[in-house]
Amino acid sequence: MNLLWLQSGGCGGCTMSLLCAESPDLPATLEGVGIRLLWHPSLSEETGAEALSLLEQAAAGAAGLDLFCVEGAMLRGPNGSGRFHLMAGTDTPMTHWVQRLAARARYTVAVGTCAAFGGITAGGPNPTDACGLQFDGSHAGGLLGVDYRSAEGLPVINVAGCPTHPNWVTETLMSLALGELGQADLDELNRPRMFADHLVHHGCPRNEFYEFKASAEHASELGCMMEHLGCLGTQAHADCNTRLWNGDGSCTRGGYACINCTAPEFEEPGHVFQQTPKIAGIPIGLPTDMPRAWFVALASLSKAATPERLRRNAAADHIQVPPTVHKPKPR
């Protein structure tokens, strides 16, 4: 299968992250399912005229375009002209190239939250009128429109994340190459459910602190970051704490809040990042699927029951009180 990758209004970080794929590494993973790079802006040999001729052939339908990956938001400005990103060497807006190529692709994949929904590029006043391929924030539509379907009858597949985990991308591409990914495998935002049906909270090493509402109040403390530090791990759809990043990392393992980067409009949370908005001392954002009254009741109960070990460790940057060692009862 041929894979063509283009970049527009983003940072290139999803490609940089993709190169971190391991066991096996990126080239081996792609080769294993017969995916061949037609062209990638960071990796391929062809540049300038050679690259343009490849792109022209793909857009004209002459080169089989099986997998079309787009990284970065679609920049429609200024004034609908697309001139905030003319593809280098062409004087043609990248949005036009993407429309032409998407019309030929068997599958179109938005890699990263920018390409999926607009992402950080659509933040603030959205100076470039950025949107995703088939979403504008949380609204369906985007550059290609609600009705877009690739040649295989699928909408744009949104591998969201800022950046994407390397294996979210490789596993999506693998399942497409194997013909195993259908509409039922996508959630309502067209994110692959194999990653999106999980929460960042799952597998978070701070879960014991969460259970007892033993909270971190300052950066580098070990406690749960939901109550004060703006952590959205209980609401964010991703498997970051069961899959892990760059070996054994994740945002919460790195000591900072999950900012729900796989969601549309994560870039404008309506409050300061890394601070939990509250009403009467109770966080506004509840854990997903948790009824409010129960959350309040359980939180106050568990707070009252917090063991001394968790209370003290939550406010420290290394373990102050180790778990009790239980000795077997003398026989």
- 3-state DSSP assignment of residue 216: coil
Q: How far is the CB of 262 from another protein (least distance, A)?
A: 13
Interface with another protein in residues 114-133 (CB under 8 A): 120-121, 123-125, 127-128, 130
What are 67's strand-pairing partners? 3, 107
The one among 3, 14, 186, 299 contacting another protein by CB under 8 A: 14
Of the candidate spans 100-108, 187-195, 238-246, 297-305, the one that interacts with another protein by CB under 8 A turns out to be 238-246
Interface with another protein in residues 188-207 (CB under 8 A): none
Q: Would you say 181 or 267 has its CB closer to another protein? A: 267
Q: How far is the CB of 8 from another protein (least distance, A)?
A: 7
| Residue 307 contacts residue 212 (beta carbons within 8 Å) | yes
Interface with another protein in residues 128-187 (CB under 8 A): 128, 130, 162-163
Q: Would you say 22 or 146 has its CB closer to another protein? A: 22
Q: How far apart are the first and last CA of the chain?
A: 67
Contact between 22 and another protein per CB under 8 A: yes
Q: Would you say 45 or 147 has its CB closer to another protein? A: 45
* Cis peptide, bond prior to residue 24, ω within 30 of zero: yes
Interface with another protein in residues 274-293 (CB under 8 A): 274
The one among 147, 248, 289, 308 contacting another protein by CB under 8 A: 248
- 3-state DSSP assignment of residue 226: coil
Q: At what angle do helices 94-102 and 49-59 cross, to 10 degrees?
A: 40
Q: Would you say 76 or 155 has its CB closer to another protein? A: 76
Q: Would you say 160 or 186 has its CB closer to another protein? A: 160
Could you write out the three-class secondary structure of 22-73? CCCCHHHHHHHCCCEEEECCCCCCCCCHHHHHHHHHHHCCCCCCCEEEEECE
| Residue 119 contacts residue 113 (beta carbons within 8 Å) | yes
Strand (E) or helix (H) holding 157: strand 157-159
Number of residues that bind another protein (CB under 8 A): 80
| Residue 140 contacts residue 132 (beta carbons within 8 Å) | no
Q: How far is the CB of 43 from another protein (least distance, A)?
A: 5
- 209: its two tokens: 């602190």
Of the candidate spans 152-160, 177-185, 218-226, 282-290, the one that interacts with another protein by CB under 8 A turns out to be 218-226
Characterize the bridge pairing of strands 157-159 and 130-131.
unpaired
The one among 247, 281, 328, 330 contacting another protein by CB under 8 A: 247
Contact between 253 and another protein per CB under 8 A: yes
Characterize the bridge pairing of strands 36-39 and 2-7.
parallel
Alpha-carbon span 101 to 94, nearest angstrom: 11
The amino acid at residue 293 is A
- Look up tokens 């061949």; give the residue: 36
The one among 2, 56, 57, 86 contacting another protein by CB under 8 A: 86
Interface with another protein in residues 26-65 (CB under 8 A): 26-27, 37, 39-52
Q: How far is the CB of 165 from another protein (least distance, A)?
A: 8
